[in-house]
Amino acid sequence: MSELLLDRVTDDVVAALETGRPPTSGDSRLYEDLGFDSLMLMDLAQRLRDRHPALGDVPLHDMVSGMADVGALTDLLRTTARENTA
């Protein structure tokens, strides 16, 4: 996993949390460990679309289903960006 991409996704997660407290690792689960709710997930999805235009128009359902933890989200973004630039 690219550390730079993980850092950027972590920054987006922290911004959506609005607590200033970063996830402890790439394994931090959005719901269970970080306390995300549906509105926070929608905010995070929009932040990701705005900050990572290579994602294109990823449906919210697809993005949310890949948001189990920070690492899984990072992998989803990497895969989606590759598919959209190929």
Per residue in 27-74, pLDDT tens? 888 888 888 888 888 888 888 888 877 777 767 777 777 778 888 888
List, in sequence order, the alpha helices (H) in 18-69.
38-51, 60-65
The residue-averaged pLDDT of 4-30 equals 77
- CATH number attached to the domain at 3-85: 1.10.1200.10
Nearby residues of 2 by Cβ (< 8 Å), 6 or more positions away: 74, 78
User: Would the pLDDT of 1 be above 60?
Assistant: no
User: Would the pLDDT of 3 be above 50?
Assistant: yes
DSSP state for residue 27 in the 8-state scheme: T
Q: Where are the domains of the chain?
A: 3-85
User: Would the pLDDT of 86 be above 60?
Assistant: yes
Prediction pTM value: 0.72
pLDDT tens track for 43-56: 888 888 888 777 77
